[in-house]
């Protein structure tokens, strides 16, 4: 249970982030979400958090922009109080084979998926260190572990996020702050809905469990890592991929 905790979920307006926000609210946490621009989706998630009897807050920011991330954290802390749990879930893809990928497309994906997580950790870890308590959960991907054609930018960002996770875990362990990564395979969200149907079908063919994950399955693991029972887990990268990466 996450009673009396405050969680901040980036990309909490849709998909996996929304499922994590709602799961944490179900477990008793107040939840702030950061979204990039889909205000209606963010407002709906906020409604659902409040319908669960918890406090909620939302702030618009591009997490890849440090000043915007800083403003969003300020808004959420003003509404909900000090944050106990950070979930770095905001992410984008700009898939293209390396021969066609522009430097801008590479930079954009690394900026949101990797630098965004750094910004959030940089902004919240002083509070975690002061309280001698904090949980960081980073959403990486099997692409970061295995590589994936068409995803040089995304796989590099997600592999970088694993290095960031392990480093933060080592730096902050003495202050009772844990930092772990979840590496999903294919999950039923707008991100996979945007994929070419044939590519997706072929990809699912190599998943031993022969289906995609539901966002709620990722959310259950995120809530576990944020809870008391996971106090001795840090620096871990946990795949949740139907067996894809084995």
Which residues contribute to the site for ligand NAP (CB under 6 A)?
10-11, 13-17, 34-38, 41, 61-64, 89-92, 112-113, 116, 139, 141, 184, 186-187, 189-192
CA distance 3 to 245: 34
Nearer to ligand NAP, 11 or 134 (CB): 11
In this structure, what token pair is assigned to residue 30? 């107040």
Task: Please report how close the Cβ of residue 117 comes to ligand NAP at its closest, in angstroms.
Answer: 9
Helix 116-131 × helix 152-172 angle, to 10°: 10
Least distance from ligand NAP to the Cβ atom of residue 95, Å: 11
156 is in an annotated binding site: yes
- Give 152's contacts (C-beta < 8 A, 6+ positions apart): 98, 101, 106
Least spacing, CB of residue 175 vs ligand NAP, in Å: 26
Is residue 154 annotated as part of the catalytic site, yes or no? Answer: yes
Tell me whether residue 14 is annotated as binding: yes
- Rounded CA gap, 68 and 64, in Å? 8
Closest Cα to residue 86, out of 42, 40, 118, 130? 118
Residues annotated in a binding site: 11-14, 89, 154-158
Residues annotated in a binding site for NADP(+): 11-14, 89, 154-158
Catalytic residues, by residue number, are 154
């Amino acid at each position: 249970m996450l009673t009396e905790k405050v969680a901040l979920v980036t990309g909490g307006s849709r998909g996996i982030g929304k499922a994590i926000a709602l799961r944490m609210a179900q477990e008793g946490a107040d939840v702030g979400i950061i979204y990039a621009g889909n205000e209606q989706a963010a407002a709906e998630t906020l409604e659902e958090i409040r319908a669960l009897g918890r406090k909620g807050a939302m702030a618009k920011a591009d997490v890849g922009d440090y000043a915007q991330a800083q403003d969003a954290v300020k808004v959420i802390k003003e509404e909900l109080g000090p944050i106990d749990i950070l979930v770095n879930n905001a992410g984008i893809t700009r898939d293209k084979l390396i021969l066609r990928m522009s430097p801008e497309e590479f930079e954009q994906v690394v900026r949101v998926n990797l630098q965004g997580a750094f910004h959030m950790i940089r902004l919240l870890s002083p509070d975690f260190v002061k309280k001698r308590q904090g949980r960081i959960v980073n959403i990486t991907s099997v692409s970061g572990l295995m590589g994936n054609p068409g995803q040089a930018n995304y796989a590099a960002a997600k592999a970088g996020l694993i290095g960031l996770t392990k480093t933060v875990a080592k730096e902050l362990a003495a202050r009772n702050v844990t930092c772990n990564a979840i590496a999903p395979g294919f999950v039923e969200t707008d991100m996979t809905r945007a994929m070419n149907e044939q590519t997706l079908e072929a990809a699912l063919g190599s998943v031993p469990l022969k289906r995609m994950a539901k966002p709620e399955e990722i959310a259950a693991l995120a809530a576990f890592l944020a809870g008391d029972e996971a106090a001795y887990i840090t620096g871990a990268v946990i795949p949740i991929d139907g067996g894809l990466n084995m």
